[in-house]
Chains A and B, each alone.
Chain A
């Protein structure tokens, strides 16, 4: 029992990374759907959240995802100029830029949040963007706020795990 501390926790596997893709109903969600219908393969790390429009995305929903340990967030809306509600995606773009700045201030780093624009027909682009986001979070390492269980089933924040010590920005002030 006493030597539990000496056991290094397992390194995160590819499946450990979790990404949320907030997808607008009219383009991105349809593109994700099409990717599924065409049986295109994309990483299983992504969870799709269906939005009426990216303009509906509240800033604190994105922050809540990061606080709960999500490694990366992708916000996917229509092509610029193609928003069903005219400018929902343009508003989302400005808000996301503000959150990216905030993520820098927090110390998590702006690269964990990305906005992409797609049309309903762009299933391959959707798949590519998801793959890129997975590659980005792997490069950045796990969200240091993520809590995992150690060998004894005790929650350990990723920030305290040895492999996370190099996670970028965790100590910036």
Chain B
């Protein structure tokens, strides 16, 4: 799932400063599940911005709508009339959803309400962790299903770095487990420690985003 968090109210206030009537558009998929951009968060943010603007003596009129999936044209279609009625859109979708709206409505300003952060999973109620960078050349099969590219702070493919303490990574977050500790334990549990005997070649980053935005075309499914 794509995980994000709402931007601070002062930042959103600055972004919307020039508008008087704005459509707040939530997305019913990933960002609803990560409690950042669903119907509920749209409502709370609308209260906050309406009040903040009223305090400035410059009231903001807000219309709220949450669509199933903002990254698909088929669903975006449903809000065309609402978009028409408003000066601008504040999108609560991930970066993909925001851009989908901007492409679909070339004459309307579209702004991002969230900081889109990562591809991750729900660890427990209201705790998410990053699991994948979308590197385009997945190595999970060799590392027991633990991604060193994402979860090792140094992106090491021949780890560990030697800096871990008590199974924790030495970089930044003292709570974060060392990915290489996890890889070792997992390979041990599934009887594949021999995977670690070979020196892993340097990662080929060409399938990643380093050459710009990627595109996938599946000829067999085109119509």
- Interface 1/0s, chain B 123-140, versus A by CB < 8 A? 000000000000000000
- Which listed residue (A66, A171, A173) contacts B51, Cβ 8 A? A66
> 8 Å CB contacts to B: which residues of A90-125?
102, 105-108
- Which residue of the partner chain A has the closest CB to B52? A106
Which of A37-45, A56-64, A81-89 forms part of the interface with chain B? Answer: A56-64
A157 within 8 A of B: yes
Question: Are B44's CB and A157's CB within 8 A?
Answer: no
Question: Are A108's CB and B51's CB within 8 A?
Answer: yes
Question: Are A105's CB and B10's CB within 8 A?
Answer: yes
A159 within 8 A of B: yes
Task: Enumerate chain A residues within 8 angstroms of B52, measured Cβ to Cβ.
Answer: 105-107
- Which listed residue (A59, A60, A159, A173) contacts B57, Cβ 8 A? A159
Please report the C-alpha to C-alpha distance between residue A45 and residue B170 in the assembled complex, in whole angstroms: 55
B200 within 8 A of A: no
Please report the C-alpha to C-alpha distance between residue A107 and residue B55 in the assembled complex, in whole angstroms: 8
Question: Are A160's CB and B57's CB within 8 A?
Answer: yes
Question: Are B54's CB and A63's CB within 8 A?
Answer: no
Question: Are B51's CB and A106's CB within 8 A?
Answer: yes
B176 within 8 A of A: no
Task: Enumerate chain B residues within 8 angstroms of A77, measured Cβ to Cβ.
Answer: none
Please report the C-alpha to C-alpha distance between residue A159 and residue B50 in the assembled complex, in whole angstroms: 14
Question: Are B10's CB and A144's CB within 8 A?
Answer: no
A145 within 8 A of B: yes
Count: A-B pairs, CB below 8 Å: 49
- Which listed residue (B10, B48, B54) contacts A145, Cβ 8 A? B54
> 8 Å CB contacts to A: which residues of B25-71?
40, 43-44, 47-48, 50-52, 54-57
Q: How far is the CB of B15 from chain A (nearest CB, A)?
A: 12
- Interface 1/0s, chain B 169-181, versus A by CB < 8 A? 0000000000000
B207 within 8 A of A: no
Q: How many residues of chain A get a CB closer than 8 Å to chain B's CBs?
A: 19
B13 within 8 A of A: yes
- Which residue of the partner chain A has the closest CB to B14? A173
Task: Enumerate chain B residues within 8 angstroms of A60, measured Cβ to Cβ.
Answer: 40, 43-44, 47
> 8 Å CB contacts to B: which residues of A24-72?
59-60, 63-64, 66-67
- Which residue of the partner chain B has the closest CB to A64? B47
Task: Enumerate chain B residues within 8 angstroms of A157, measured Cβ to Cβ.
Answer: 54, 57
- Interface 1/0s, chain B 1-28, versus A by CB < 8 A? 0000000111001100000000000000
Question: Are A173's CB and B10's CB within 8 A?
Answer: yes
Given known pairs A108-B55, A159-B57, the reply for A67 and B47 (CB within 8 Å) is yes
Please report the C-alpha to C-alpha distance between residue A63 and residue B57 in the assembled complex, in whole angstroms: 19
Question: Are A105's CB and B8's CB within 8 A?
Answer: yes
Please report the C-alpha to C-alpha distance between residue A170 and residue B55 in the assembled complex, in whole angstroms: 6
Task: Enumerate chain A residues within 8 angstroms of B8, measured Cβ to Cβ.
Answer: 105
Question: Are A102's CB and B48's CB within 8 A?
Answer: yes
Q: How far is the CB of B174 from chain A (nearest CB, A)?
A: 23
Given known pairs A102-B9, A105-B8, the reply for A145 and B51 (CB within 8 Å) is yes
Task: Enumerate chain A residues within 8 angstroms of B48, measured Cβ to Cβ.
Answer: 63, 102, 105-106
- Interface 1/0s, chain A 147-168, versus B by CB < 8 A? 0000000000101100000000
Task: Enumerate chain A residues within 8 angstroms of B50, measured Cβ to Cβ.
Answer: 67
Chain B residues at the A interface, C-beta cutoff of 8 Å: 8-10, 13-14, 40, 43-44, 47-48, 50-52, 54-57
Chain A residues at the B interface, C-beta cutoff of 8 Å: 59-60, 63-64, 66-67, 102, 105-108, 144-145, 157, 159-160, 170-171, 173
Query: Can you list 8 contacts pairing A with B, beta carbon distance less than 8 Å?
Result: A60-B40, A67-B54, A106-B9, A107-B52, A144-B55, A145-B55, A160-B57, A170-B55
Q: Top 8 nearest A-B pairs by Cβ distance?
A: A105-B9, A63-B47, A106-B52, A107-B55, A106-B51, A173-B10, A170-B55, A106-B48
